[in-house]
Amino acid sequence: MNFAYSCKKQLLSGISVKRPIIPVELHGNNGLVLVVNAILDSGSDFTLIPKELADELALEYDSMDKCSAESYEGEPFTTTKSSLRIIVRKGRQQSLMFDVRCMVNLEEGKQHSELILGSTFFGYFRIHFNYPHDRFQILSAKGQQA
Amino acid sequence: MSSNIDGEFSFFLKHSFDGYADGSWVAIYDSKVVSSEKKLHDVLESLKKQAIPASKVLITKVKKTASYL
């Protein structure tokens, strides 16, 4: 598997930035399938899913089994453990399906309200960044074809 | 995920989403925004009303602030 993507370019405070965002297919425990944009972040220890997305997908988690987390800015927030079935595919090319351990962000504010693919996701891939050309590639390392 | 999602993703890459509220959820289908709401649940309800299958839609979150993840 070798998927090539373009970076999402965006102006922030008048400065053009690039974000490594990919669409991923999420399979809920209730049969719901959603295709959601997710940002790649090798600096995040876990894959992080916002609570409202986890709830729509009926992911299993125990909201009383809380884990403390902190952003790199030092802002604390609360998470709990879950798992998530993800399929990455592009057009009619091969796809990759895997179950990834994730954390549900129990706080429903704006902080970390995106789907963040962290190190538990990166373990399945080799990822090549080519930011001078606004591109990045995801190459499979291990996993299971869907 | 059908190949149409690639088209929706291309639309996402090209579109600025400046006109949508920071933090809102947006649904893209047939290369246009078909729903945008503060709550994801409301977006999914809107898709049902429009008879658009949720699995054919690309869902994204509008983010207008810098991230330091």
Q: What confidence tens digit (pLDDT) does each residue in A24-56 have?
A: 999 999 999 999 999 999 888 889 999 999 999
Q: pTM (2 decimals)?
A: 0.90
| Contact across the interface for A8 and B63, Cβ inside 8 Å | no
Is residue B44 assigned to a domain? yes
Tokens of B36: 């945008």
Contacts of B66 in chain A (CB under 8 A): 12-13, 17
Tokens of B53: 């299958």
Contact status, residue A124 vs residue A133, Cβ threshold 8 Å = no
Is residue B68 assigned to a domain? no
Buried b (16+ CB within 10 A) or exposed e, A68-89: ebeeeeeeebebbebebbbbbb
The count of residues in chain B is 69
Q: Flag whether residue B49 sits within 8 Å of chain A, measured between CB atoms.
A: no
**How many other CB atoms sit within 10 Å of the CB of residue A144?**
11
Tokens of A100: 């990834």
What's the total number of domains in chain B?
Answer: 1
Helix residue spans in A44-143 (DSSP H) = 51-56, 119-122
| Contact across the interface for B60 and A37, Cβ inside 8 Å | yes
| Contact across the interface for B5 and A23, Cβ inside 8 Å | yes
Domains of chain A (ranges; CATH) run: 2-145 (2.40.70.10)
pLDDT per residue over B25-56, tens digit each? 999 999 999 999 999 999 999 999 999 999 99
Tokens of B24: 């809102």
Q: Which residues form the domain of B54?
A: 4-61
Question: What would the mean pLDDT of B62-66 be, rounded to a whole number?
Answer: 82
